[in-house]
């Protein structure tokens, strides 16, 4: 058992298994099966590129093997700090394939938060982007490397600084290892052990690490998808940070993929861009916070785009004002605003559709 991790009580575990909630399979194996089942369907895309389920699995497998070449091993902890880009999806699933536990940092985190994540978890690597607005992450990571002995590997997306490994390079490089290594690793993983670490809201200081096991996180996304009525024809537009629990797994990217649906990633919340993507991809679902919904519904462009494909807007993070719901459902005639409340620790509550 991972040091510091408190397992679920034995009687809880048995009850969840008896009821079929826990399937005793890893996240990686679950999604590998999903990718085989829906091989030719589009799994994820951005404004320019569409990736099928088969392509996603192939790229994640290739990247996973290259991560092994880079020195990462099953049981390692790695801080993953990427935005709503395809590279996040490849990297997330690649880490899961080789038993590496990602700590899902947000792009707004800087030196103070990232250093604490490394210190607490004894992370051996950081995978981040080169810059975010006026922030140079190379300088931050180099500083953390000097202060945290566990940090050995630095991986960067974008303009790669000295001493960093190019993530793009690892993605496009043809792996020399055999994919059977992944199967061997998966056979050693206990689904009751942590698969990844989410972050607390940070309202009492620096966010704390929250372990999510393979069993409970698969269950989390499956039940969330069921209670939000996700179908294979559904299309999710993810504009909230994908490393956050809601757009990742409640039902989020994971829940939509479990049903063979499509996930559209976008980094901007600007109304003009968002409304254009809704039109282009016939988006059916969006995760949002009330403050952003208010901005969108008061933007004049809301009446200039065809947004009739929207079926459900999931609102979380704070209480939704009744007048905002009324306005939204008047402007988006086929849409229901569904309020939800959740915690990264696992509890989820939804208003019934």
216-253 pLDDT, tens per residue?
A: 999 999 999 998 889 999 999 999 999 999 999 999 99
At residue 2 the predicted structure's pLDDT band, cuts being 50, 70 and 90, is confident
Is the per-residue pLDDT at 91 higher than 70? yes
At residue 1 the predicted structure's pLDDT band, cuts being 50, 70 and 90, is low
- In CATH terms, the fold of domain 215-350 is Rossmann fold (3.40.50)
Is the per-residue pLDDT at 52 higher than 90? yes
- Domain positions in the chain are 26-37+53-213, 215-350
Is the per-residue pLDDT at 30 higher than 70? yes
Range from 3-7, 45-49, 183-187 carrying the lowest mean pLDDT = 3-7
- Mean pLDDT rounded to a whole number for the chain: 95
Residues 110-123 pLDDT 10s: 999 999 999 999 99
Q: Determine the pLDDT at residue 206.
A: 80
List 77's β-bridge partners, or say none: 101
The CATH class of 26-37+53-213 is alpha beta
Q: Determine the pLDDT at residue 203.
A: 62
More confident residue, 74 or 353: 74
DSSP labels, 82-143: --SSHHHHHHHHHHHHTT-EEEE--TT--HHHHHHHHHHHT-SEEEEESEETTEEHHHHHHH
Q: Has this prediction a pTM greater than 0.75?
A: yes
Q: Determine the pLDDT at residue 47.
A: 87
Going by the DSSP 8-state scheme, the letter that residue 352 receives in this structure is -
Is the per-residue pLDDT at 204 higher than 70? no
- Whether 26-37+53-213 and 215-350 share one fold: the answer is yes
Annotate 154-223 with three-state secondary structure: EEEECCCCCCCEEHHHHHHCCCCCCCHHHHHHHCCCCCCCEEEEEECCCCCCCCCEEEEEHHHHHHHHHH
Is the per-residue pLDDT at 199 higher than 80? yes
Give the integer Cα–Cα distance in Å for 210 and 110.
19
List 156's β-bridge partners, or say none: 128, 166
Give the integer Cα–Cα distance in Å for 129 and 111.
14
- Contact in structure between 181 and 69 (CB atoms under 8 Å): no
Q: Which two tokens stand for residue 308?
A: 């009739």
Q: Determine the pLDDT at residue 207.
A: 87
Average pLDDT over residues 246-269: 97
Is the per-residue pLDDT at 133 higher than 80? no
């Amino acid at each position: 058992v991972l040091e510091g991790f408190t397992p679920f009580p034995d009687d809880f575990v048995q009850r969840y298994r008896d009821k079929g909630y826990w399937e005793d399979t890893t996240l990686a194996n679950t999604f590998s099966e999903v990718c085989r089942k829906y091989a030719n369907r589009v799994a994820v895309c951005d404004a320019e590129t569409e990736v099928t389920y088969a392509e996603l699995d192939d790229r994640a497998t290739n990247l996973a093997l290259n991560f092994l070449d880079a020195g990462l091993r099953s049981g390692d902890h790695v801080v993953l700090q990427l935005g709503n880009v395809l590279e996040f999806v490849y990297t997330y699933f690649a880490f899961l394939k080789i038993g590496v536990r990602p700590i899902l940092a947000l792009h707004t985190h800087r030196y103070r938060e990232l250093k604490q994540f490394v210190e607490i978890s004894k992370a051996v690597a950081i995978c981040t982007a080169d810059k975010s607005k006026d922030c140079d992450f190379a300088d931050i990571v180099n500083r953390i490397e000097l202060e945290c002995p566990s940090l050995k590997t630095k991986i960067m997306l974008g303009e790669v600084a000295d001493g960093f490994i190019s993530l793009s390079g690892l993605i496009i490089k043809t792996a020399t290892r055999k994919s059977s290594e992944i199967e061997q690793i998966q056979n050693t993983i206990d689904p009751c052990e942590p698969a990844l670490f989410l972050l607390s809201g940070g309202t009492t200081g620096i966010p704390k690490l929250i372990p999510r096991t393979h069993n409970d996180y698969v269950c989390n996304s499956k039940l969330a998808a069921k209670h939000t009525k996700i179908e294979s024809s559904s299309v999710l537009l993810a504009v909230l940070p994908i490393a956050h629990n809601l757009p990742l797994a409640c039902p989020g990217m994971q829940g939509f993929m479990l049903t063979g649906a499509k996930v559209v990633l976008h980094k901007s919340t600007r109304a003009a861009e968002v409304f254009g993507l809704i039109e282009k991809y016939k988006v059916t679902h969006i995760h949002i916070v009330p403050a952003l919904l208010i901005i969108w519904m008061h933007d004049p462009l809301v009446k200039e785009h065809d947004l009739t494909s929207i079926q459900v807007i999931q609102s979380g993070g704070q209480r939704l004002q009744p007048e905002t719901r009324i306005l939204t459902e008047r402007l988006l005639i086929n849409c229901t605003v569904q309020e939800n409340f959740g915690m990264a620790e696992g509890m989820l509550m939804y208003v019934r559709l």
